[in-house]
């Protein structure tokens, strides 16, 4: 298997952050490069399918348009959403998800 070509990047961070990061690396047996690489991989995985934003014109074209987290988004996105919505919206989502679940059951 051919090894993927890599490049080096180097963000500038405060000395205090680097000092704490070094202590964590010693404690966990890792290194800064591994941690930064993991953070970047997680970020790309979460945002790779597209920015979770909608064009502002969507609300002009469809005044009743509602923006929700994507179905397969991390649970924390949904928890954040539910903490800011009213009971009516939460019930609407609950019933929609129940329908999706019932439809999905037909495929397994």
- Predicted confidence (pLDDT) at residue 14 exceeds the cutoff of 90: yes
pLDDT digits (tens, 9 = 90+) for 20-66: 999 999 999 999 888 888 899 888 887 766 555 666 676 677 777 77
- Using alpha carbons only, give the angle 74, 67, 45 rounded to the nearest 5 degrees: 30
List the domain boundaries for the chain.
12-51, 57-108
């Amino acid at each position: 298997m051919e090894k993927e070509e890599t490049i080096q990047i180097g963000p500038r961070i405060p000395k205090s952050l680097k000092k704490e990061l070094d202590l964590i690396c010693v404690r966990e047996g890792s290194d800064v490069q591994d941690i930064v690489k993991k953070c970047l991989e997680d970020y790309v995985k979460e945002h790779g399918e597209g920015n979770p934003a909608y064009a502002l014109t969507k609300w002009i074209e469809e005044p009743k348009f509602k923006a929700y987290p994507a179905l397969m988004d991390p649970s924390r996105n949904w928890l954040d959403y539910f903490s800011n919505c009213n009971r009516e919206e939460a019930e609407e989502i609950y019933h929609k998800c129940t329908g999706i679940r019932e439809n999905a059951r037909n495929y397994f």
